[in-house]
Amino acid sequence: MIPGPVRVANEALAFLLELAALGLLAWWGFTLGHSLPLHLLLGLGLPLLAALLWGRYAAPKAPVRLPVPAVLAVKALVFGSAAAALGDRAGWGSGLGFALLCLANTALATRYRSTLAAASADQG
């Protein structure tokens, strides 16, 4: 079992990483292309699309409950896109660092949740 303070810190970090992913996608989108309409479309559209995917399929209270591998695929798509965006704008080392932080955070959260699910199944 993961200690309470570590779990709380990891959940807080998860929220900050999710916000950072949206911000990185917006930054990337606003800098792509050569026209104002394209900047606006991508700068607003990419984070909106990511937020909709996350909210519908990956959020803790998502209306569509997917199996864990599918939830992880949605998270990988959003975080991977944000890491690629950061890599493109600020250098690939930064993008790789963001990706590794997201991977470690998601792995710890997934481990905790699977431990809870197993404990719940044992009691049921």
Q: What pLDDT score was predicted for residue 92? A: 97
Quote the radius of gyration of the chain (alpha carbons, Å).
Answer: 16
Parent domain of 71: 4-123
- Segment 83-108 shows an average pLDDT of 98
How many structural domains compose the chain? 1
Is the whole model's pTM more than 0.95, yes or no? no
- Segment 104-116 shows an average pLDDT of 88
- Segment 24-53 shows an average pLDDT of 96
Residue 115 has pLDDT above 80, yes or no: no
Degrees (nearest 5) of the Cα angle 25, 74, 36?
25
% of residues, the chain, pLDDT over 70: 93
Q: Is 30 helix (H, G, I), strand (E, B) or coil?
A: helix
Q: What pLDDT score was predicted for residue 120? A: 65
- Segment 20-33 shows an average pLDDT of 96
- Segment 1-19 shows an average pLDDT of 92
Interacting residues of 45 by C-beta distance below 8 A, sequence separation 6+: 29
- Segment 91-116 shows an average pLDDT of 93
